[in-house]
Structure 1
């Protein structure tokens, strides 16, 4: 079964159409402009009290122009569309339901519609890894050039973007005291003083407290699982949150927040 490509987007005051710069003619807004250059299996529109009419008109336009695309409208009853915490809370709740219904889907986010606060919340959730999706930016036509296309994927791994860490797991691990480096090495059973081993351990110590995934490569028997346990001990996370799985013999798609280190043979 092929994976579904699902677009998540707020509707905004420029959807489905907006006035162009020449003659006041209507031109496609951000959502219709995006669908003109990128294909999706489903579009999920996030509706708010202030955009009811825009959502209704956008839904009608999408059904007329893209009858094969599945449409879903989700309500965010925001009294204040600039309330960061309310937006974050609502998006987290909705995405939990969406991802449960479509665990194998590939997600995309349009950050062109909605308030600036909504744009910021999309970016924060994606950068923190809470919402595993590709951010899509649609430029206003007046800014489109040969070097700056209409559609651009926002690469959050570029050096210019800061590292964003999710706070959702913080209460669970707040009372767990991380080990010091020497103790973690000793308890992990790692033996070796070669400069390459020392460098790897020092790098691991820097990465351990973060929430970024860590990929450990090496041939069978080189101690990948020992190194993974070393990282986990230094992270300050509870010992029972570590699970080692040999991916060579299985094909898994399970989502489990406890699995933060994947070991490949």
Structure 2
């Protein structure tokens, strides 16, 4: 005889058969109550491990659902509806339901909800976070510890720092840590993603403009450099900036002053600059796409953040940190991460690095019905394999010749990738390891947008 019992409230033969099948898989005995009154009497008399409630039995009445969810004998509450309303979908978790399922029922999903929680020994408990431990660099790998030490040694200075690493490794977190540990912590931290702002607007965004400087300049605008005076300016994706703007950034760093567009007043700067990029700047210098003098001006201190796949031992600490953080932020009573789920996290390739892991954990915390994150809550799919522009290297690209310039090769490559992904700039950006706006700008510049 099964040790666990499940109560079904509502009269629906199809649902009853599906719940019975789920109970068999979960090792639970099923008792059924055709009406709400019968169900309430059953709950008052007997302890159940879970209650499956048909929404039609209560006509989506929030007060009744909340009453059943709070009943000491109800156990886990699962709502079932044939055609759930948007209101019910929104209200279900607030009313205390662990899950809202639709008919026809997913028997495997329901069986997982009705199954007992894993024993404590199979759960990795969450840490207790201290106040202020939100978005931060977490880990103990040698490469990350070296980065921590570099931050500690240079934070108090005004030295310009260049942070390199793949997208999602936490470059902005380093910039914020440098700012917070410096004498400029009381000043502004101003971040600008150089790849996300269109080229024709970026100069105004950085340096500001005077009224009438160009069509549409109806008022004076204070730029990011000026707004960061007394604090720190974070120039993200500096490698995607045009040569023209690179020259103006170099001049601002050398002379420690700027002029707004359309203005003549020289504005003195008291700004610490931290720059970041996922691009290989020495390669860009070799191809003529990045100024060597600007590189050396930015790279007074160089700090590289390793990809998450290069520090797999940190995945556990990061997962626990973010699970605890998001459980607190979203008001979820979360006990820990199942050992099987943790092994799944540690085996994942993490092409999106820490940012991807962070998003996976936040989604899991929001969607998990119980107090332990399981494998199915992570929704980890296999990482998409990179699309190759052509097998055998550049020599096999149609139209390629060894006498081509780097710009011509880049145009050829971008064009072929865009054709392979049917002109989808987001997918092309992933393959090319560029920001989406950069791919779009270069496609327009080279005239390679698929027709």
TM-score (structure 2 length as normaliser)? 0.18
Structure that is richer in helix per residue: 2
Larger Rg, first or second structure (1 or 2):
2
